[in-house]
Structure 1
Amino acid sequence: MHSAHTWPISANMLSFGNRAPDGGHIKDAPAAVWASQLRQVRELGFDYIDPTDAWVPLAALSDARVDEFGTVLSDEGLAISSVSMTRNSVVDVEHGEQNLADAHRLIDLAPTFGATIVNTGFMQAITPAQSEQIWFWLVEGHVDDPALRELAIERVRELGDHARSNGIQLSLEMYEDTFIGTPDEAVQFISDVDHDAVGLNPDLGNLIRLHRPMPHFTEMFAKVLPYSNFWHIKNYSRDHDPATGAYSSAPLPLKYGYINYRQMIRLALDLGYSGPFCCEHYGSDSLGVCAENREYILQVLTSALA
Structure 2
Amino acid sequence: MQRRIPDIAAAMLPFGDTVRGVAVQDADPALWLETLREVADEGFDAIDLTDSWLKPGDLSEARLTDLSDALVQANLRPVAISSIRHSVIDPDTGAENLSYTHRTIDAAATLGIDLVSIGFHRPLLPRQRRNLWFWTVDGPHDRDDVETRSQATVALRDLCKHAASVGVQVSLEMYEDTLLGSPASAVRVLTDAGMDNLGLNPDLGNLFRLHRPIDPFLESLAVCLPYTNYWHVKSYYRDEDPATGAVTTFPAPMESGSMDYRSAFRMAVDAGYSGAFCVEHYGGDGLSVAARNRDYIRHIHQTLPLKKEQR
Which residues of structure 1 form unaligned runs of 5+? Answer: none
The correspondence of residues 123-138 of structure 1 with structure 2, limited to 5 A, is 123-138=121-136
Q: Report the RMSD for the aligned CA atoms in angstroms.
A: 1.4
Of 47, 53, 56, the match for 1:55: 53
Q: 1:217 to 1:25 in 2, by over 3 A?
A: same
- Residue 142 of structure 1 deviates from its aligned partner by 0.8
TM-score, length-scaled by structure 2: 0.94
2:211 is equivalent to residue 211 of structure 1: yes
Match of 1:301 in 2: 301
Of 86, 89, 105, the match for 1:91: 89
- Residue 305 of structure 1 deviates from its aligned partner by 6.5
Match of 2:12 in 1: 13
Decide which moves more: 250-259 or 189-198. Answer: 189-198
- Residue 170 of structure 1 deviates from its aligned partner by 0.3
Output the CA distance in 2 between the equivalents of 1:42 and 1:269: 27
**Aligned residues: percent identity?**
45
2:95 is equivalent to residue 105 of structure 1: no
The correspondence of residues 1-306 of structure 1 with structure 2, limited to 5 A, is 4-5=4-5, 7-22=6-21, 24-146=22-144, 147-304=147-304, 306=306
Output the CA distance in 1 between the equivalents of 2:65 and 2:250: 39
- Residue 279 of structure 1 deviates from its aligned partner by 0.5
Which residues of structure 2 form unaligned runs of 5+? Answer: 307-311
Q: 1:101 to 1:250 in 2, by over 3 A?
A: same
Tell me which amino acid in the other structure corresponds to 1:246: A
Q: What CA deviation, in whole Å up to 9, does each residue of 1:246-299 have, x standing for no partner?
A: 000010011011111111011112112121100100001100000000111111
Decide which moves more: 209-218 or 184-193. Answer: 184-193
Q: 1:9 to 1:305 in 2, by over 3 A?
A: farther
Match of 2:309 in 1: none
Q: 1:197 to 1:305 in 2, by over 3 A?
A: farther
Output the CA distance in 1 between the equivalents of 2:237 and 2:171: 26
Tell me which amino acid in the other structure corresponds to 2:81: V
Q: 1:154 to 1:65 in 2, by over 3 A?
A: same
Tell me which amino acid in the other structure corresponds to 1:77: N
The DSSP-based 3-state class of the residue aligned with 1:10 is strand
Tell me which amino acid in the other structure corresponds to 1:32: A
TM-score, length-scaled by structure 1: 0.95
Q: What CA deviation, in whole Å up to 9, does each residue of 1:54-100 have, x standing for no partner?
A: 00100111111111111111111111001000001012223222211
- Residue 3 of structure 1 deviates from its aligned partner by 5.0
Output the CA distance in 1 between the equivalents of 2:12 and 2:266: 26
The DSSP-based 3-state class of the residue aligned with 1:143 is coil
- Residue 196 of structure 1 deviates from its aligned partner by 1.0
Output the CA distance in 1 between the equivalents of 2:38 and 2:302: 25
Q: What CA deviation, in whole Å up to 9, does each residue of 1:3-55 have, x standing for no partner?
A: 534x2110011110101212x32110111111111111101110111111100
Alignment: residue pair count: 303
- Residue 210 of structure 1 deviates from its aligned partner by 0.1
Output the CA distance in 1 between the equivalents of 2:241 and 2:293: 29
Structure 1: which 4+ aligned runs deviate by more than 4 Å?
none
